[in-house]
Amino acid sequence: MSDAKVTSLDVARLAGVSQSAVSRVFSGASASQTTIAKVRAAAEQLGYRPNSLARAMITGKSRIIALVVAYLDNQFYPVAIERLSQALQARDYHILLLMAGNSPEGIDHVMQELMSYQIDGIITASVAMSSDLTDRCAALGIPVVMFNRGQDGTAHSSVTSANVEGGRKVAEFLLAGGHGRIAHIAGWQGSSTGRDRTRGFLAALEEVGAPAPQVIDGMYTREAAAEAARTLMAGPTPPDAIFVGNDHMAFAVMDVLRFELGLSVPQDVSVVGYDDVPMAAWPAYDLTTLRQPLNRMVEATVATLLAEIDDPDRGTEKVEIAGPLVLRGSARIPQGWT
């Protein structure tokens, strides 16, 4: 049946038509029913598939989009990747995966490499791009959508949840629960996501005249968050509620409270997270958390990206999607809350 490489020319010869005819059949251009039939039959017999690289070179569109992700420890990102991948595959796009790692300049290097593959677009998940790289993408006309992170100076589109509002919701919830000593282990303050959640949270507390909570940056890592929890609880007035900047850190905080300090959650301390990763629903944590509407964020991300690919002059877009607070067992639930 199928030997090594079979080209459109081989198919053309077997079908008794020109190579152009074969191309037209497979690229959807017009052709008569008879030639379509002949070409299809010959292609089937030879096991022919059009070479995407050659096609990409001539059309300028590779149908490849680059997905740049910083780390996968936080369960939020594997799940997001899974959804993004499915959504893009369904639209006949393919994903070039790139781990940004922790090297701040290494990413620029690899991104440059990526550019040479004529990718049609870029999705960054929790990764900041150097402004140098940003300019480069703009110059080459490559659309970029930042998933779950904004970046102020740049002209890129972004899709996030309504983080400021989310922070507010958590504050209101904890206040309604009658918590008097509220603390905050923040998401990395170098990220817009972390800053926005913190800002909304603090603003809501301030508006009702609540005392300003103690805030420690958890850097989005288990280690920093655990250390922050220890510091908070060892202080003169240990908190009775902690808002943690994402679920990943919240699990670490709960582990410290329960297994190092022997405290009960939520009897001694209420803990609220952010994201609602699948693990938050596991009974071992049963974490009350503000849900990031992943499916809608993913849909918005691919919709925005593909729209920009189809129409380069479309302009960018900053999408914010609000999510609900999911009430579970890790935080005291105020009277009357559903």
Partner DNA sequence: CTCAGGATTGAAAACGTATGCAAGCCGGGT
Partner DNA sequence: ACCCGGCTTGCATACGTTTTCAATCCTGAG
- 72 binds a copy of itself, rule: CB under 8 A: yes
Main-chain dihedrals φ then ψ at residue 11, nearest 5 degrees:
-60, -45
- 26 binds DNA, rule: CB under 7 A: yes
- 118 binds a copy of itself, rule: CB under 8 A: yes
- Report 23-52 residues binding a copy of itself (CB under 8 A): 47, 49-52
- 139 binds DNA, rule: CB under 7 A: no
Q: How far is CA 162 from each of CA 28, 75, 112, 130, 299, rounded to the nearest angstrom?
A: 42, 20, 32, 24, 16
CA 248 to chain centre: 15
CA 107 to chain centre: 17
- Report 275-294 residues binding a copy of itself (CB under 8 A): 278, 282-285
User: Which residue's CB is nearer to a copy of itself, number 26 or number 274?
Assistant: 26
# of chain residues touching DNA (CB under 7 A): 28
Which of these ranges, 2-10, 182-190, 217-225, 272-280, lies near DNA under the rule CB under 7 A?
A: 2-10
Partner that binds at residue 255, options DNA, a copy of itself, none, CB closer than 5 to 8 Å by kind? a copy of itself
Q: To which residue do tokens 């290097």 refer?
A: 109
Q: How far apart are CA 309 and CA 1, in angstroms?
A: 38
3-state secondary structure of 22: helix
Which of these ranges, 18-26, 122-130, 239-247, 276-284, lies near DNA under the rule CB under 7 A?
A: 18-26
- 70 binds DNA, rule: CB under 7 A: no
Q: How far apart are CA 72 and CA 277, in angstroms?
A: 13
**8 A C-beta contact, residue 81 and residue 67:** yes
**8 A C-beta contact, residue 183 and residue 232:** yes
3-state secondary structure of 311: coil
- 334 binds DNA, rule: CB under 7 A: no
- 155 binds a copy of itself, rule: CB under 8 A: no
To a copy of itself, the closest distance from the beta carbon of 140 in angstroms equals: 7
End-to-end CA distance of the chain: 64
Which residues contact a copy of itself by CB under 8 A? 1-5, 47, 49-54, 56-57, 62, 64, 67, 71-73, 75, 77-79, 81-82, 85-86, 89, 92, 94-99, 101, 110, 112-118, 136, 139-141, 251-252, 254-255, 258-260, 278, 282-285
